[in-house]
Amino acid sequence: MSAPLDGIVVIDLSRALAGPHAAMMLGDMGARVIKVESPGTGDDTRGWGPPFVGPDDEPISTYFLAANRNKESITLDLKSDDGRDVLTGLVRRADVLVENFRPGVMDRLGFGNEQLHELNPRLVVLSISGFGHDGPQGGRAGYDQIAQGESGLMSVTGPDADTPQRVGVPIGDLLAGMYGAYGVVTALHERNTTGVGRVVRTSLLAALVGAHAFQGTAYTVAGHVGRAQGNHHPSLSPYGLFHCQDGDIQVACGSESLWRKLAEAFDLDPAAPGMATNRERTVNRDQVTAALNAAFAAYPLAELLPRLAELGIPAGEVRTIDRVYDWNQTRSQGLVLDVDHPVLGHIELPGPPIRFDDNGYAGGRSEHAAPPMLDQHGDSIRAWLADGT
């Protein structure tokens, strides 16, 4: 079965996470992704760990494995004549080029956007930076945790306003990669009409500000500055983490009818002072939380979840990572892939979060490839360029 991006060739010059994640998303949809790495060391993330797996003399970073499935690897010294010649050949045959160098580096290498489009007018270039390619701080290096702080995300994450907290995954990198891939497929669609490519830009800052959602309009429209409120929603109540007899449970009441069902089922007065409307309950969140914690204290999780489900109250437990990947629902959605790695053998990887139709495939491919070893495909890629077909 053909994949949605069959025939699209992507040159991945990026490293670390934002760019590689964008390129991997395109690879998941069937694009041929050629990862260009530095000789000897490769992508920075090949050295990021622990945890590492595999033989002691050739340890493999699980961080690298997370962002580089469905790619080929070639090593090129872009400061050498040979490296520049091979990259020139790749650019001429590619549809997309992904890079996340600091602004100005591509120009110094002789592959600025003007030069790239002279070589290939149809090329779509994805450029991901830390804080934008221009503006007063456009040249700043971008690292996820710094961007989480600068973007305001940490100020609305954590137990309270005095304890800013990073998100437990590099969410700025991941979102920048997602927005970048979205921009690429948009530009590829436009190219079908115009016949020419364009430069797509995003940044860690842009991606995180783009994810502010209601926290953003709360300030831009109402002048309200959101602050971290722990595991409870700032605009809805009850909506958050509660305690039961043997653990934690999450409950989300997004309407007054759900609140009435919940309250009446657990012998609470839904119209009690301070609890009659969502606005009141949000102002008096501590009162609502205390009441529900007391009501839930008599129930173990295994009894409470089915009871809430029977009532139609959205609820769930808090799973550890291992229990997520062992969960039959996760596996039923194609979110765990089986691949064969040249050193590790058969391994499982987290899978792409998109499925098409009812074919059972994860992503756009019927089969997925393990992340490559450094320069694993160097010879075959050079042969493909020399062949010219």
Query: Any residues with CB less than 8 A from the CB of 48 and at least 6 apart, and which?
Result: 61, 63, 64
Residue with tokens 């592959």: 111
Q: For residue 233, with 0-12 CB atoms within 10 Å meaning exposed, 13-18 middle and 19 or more buried, which class applies? A: middle
Distances (CA, A) of 353 to 22, 262, 303, 335, 336: 13, 32, 31, 7, 10
Where does residue 270 fall: left (phi above 0), alpha (psi -120 to 50 degrees), or beta otherwise? alpha
In 3D space, the residue among 247, 249, 241, 236 whose CA is nearest the CA of residue 309 turns out to be 249
Q: What share of the chain is helix, strand, coil (3-state, %, to 5)?
A: 40, 15, 45
Reported as type and span, the H/E element at residue 247 is strand 247-252
CB contact at 8 A, 188 and 179 = no
- Of the residues 43, 95, 173, 375, only one is catalytic, namely 173
CB contact at 8 A, 170 and 189 = no
d(CA 172, CA 378): 31
Catalytic site residue 326? Answer: no
Tell me the catalytic residues: 173
